[in-house]
Amino acid sequence: MASASLSLTALPGIPLIAPGDDLPALIIAALREAGLGLVDGDILVVAQKIVSKAAGLYVDLDDVVPSQRARDIAARVGKDPRHVEVVLREADEIVKIGPHVIVAAHRLGFVMANAGIDESNIEHGHGGRVLLLPRDPDGSASALKQCLDQAFGVSCGVIVNDSFGRPWRNGVVGVAIGAAGVPALVDRVGAKDLFGRRLKVTEIAVADEIASAASLLMGQANEGLPVVLVRGYRAASPVGPAASLIRSRERDMFR
C-alpha cells in the first residue's frame, strides 16, 4: 500500500477583490506566478467572500428599510435592524434566535448564522454594507473549474468554502458551499470495513473536510489568503455538488 499524502498551498498574490474583477483570470495568474500550475485532480478551494465580492453582492444598508419583524428580532438579538432585514430576505426559515445570532436556513438550504451574511472584511461606506452569499455557489465553482481546466489543460476540482458554526461545539470550521469536480459526499454504503462487516457510517462529507483543511491556511484574516491549492487527494467516488451536503428537511432531526 502506497503512502497517501496531501499538500495544501495558499496562493500568494491574490489581490483584494472588487465587483467585476475577473476571478478566474486572477487565480490563473497567481497559479502561474507561484510556479504551481495545475495537474489533474488538483482541487482549488476559494473563499466565499471573494466569489461574492467579484459578483458585487453587496447590499448598502442605507437602502434597506427594515420591516417590523426585522426590528423585533433586531431588538432581541442586539443587531442593526437593517442587517436583520437582509438576513430575513436571504432566509427561507428562521431556525433559532439566540443572543447575537440568528440561525437561519438560507434559501439555498444552508443552515447557518445570519443566513451567511457577515460584515467582516468588507469595505464600508457611510451607512455600512453587507455581503451576500453567491447566488449559485455550485454554479460559481463549475464556472471557475471550466476556466481553470481550459487554462491548464487538466480536469481539476473547485470548492467554494465558508465558515460555519455548529451546535454543540465551539468555534467555526470551513465547509463547502459550492463544489465542482469533487466527490462532495462519498457514499460508503456497502463498503466493507477491515473485518468484512458492512460499514454503518455510510456517508463522508469529503468536500467539507477539504474546505476545513483549506481554512487552516486561510484562517488568519489579517493575512488574506483566500485561495488554497489542494494536491494529492485521490477521489475514488463520483463527483457531486455541494448541494448534496445539505440535509433535506425530512431527514433532519434538528429543524
Q: Residues 14 to 43: which contact its own copies by CB under 8 A?
A: 16, 34
Establish if 222 lies at the interface with its own copies (CB under 8 A).
yes
Closer residue to its own copies (CB): 140 or 244: 244
Three-state DSSP state, 118: strand
What does the block give as the cell for 199?
Answer: 460499514
Which one of 74, 215, 227, 241 is in contact with its own copies (CB under 8 A)?
215
Question: Any long-range contacts for 151-155 (C-beta under 8 Å, 24+ apart)?
Answer: 151/24, 151/28, 151/38, 152/28, 152/31, 152/37, 152/38, 154/38, 154/39, 154/40, 154/42, 155/40, 155/41, 155/181
Establish if 220 lies at the interface with its own copies (CB under 8 A).
yes
**How far apart are the C-alpha atoms of 77 and 79, rounded to whole Å?**
6
Q: Residues 39 to 78: which contact its own copies by CB under 8 A?
A: none
Piece of 53-61, 63-71, 134-142, 240-248 that binds its own copies (CB under 8 A): 240-248
Which one of 64, 74, 208, 227 is in contact with its own copies (CB under 8 A)?
208
- H-helix or E-strand spanning residue 101: strand 101-106
**How far apart are the C-alpha atoms of 158 and 182, rounded to whole Å?**
7
Establish if 92 lies at the interface with its own copies (CB under 8 A).
no
Closer residue to its own copies (CB): 126 or 167: 167
Piece of 58-66, 68-76, 131-139, 163-171 that binds its own copies (CB under 8 A): 163-171
Which one of 50, 111, 132, 144 is in contact with its own copies (CB under 8 A)?
111
* Minimum gap (Å) between residue 206 Cβ and its own copies: 7
Phi, psi of 145 (to 5 degrees): -60, -45
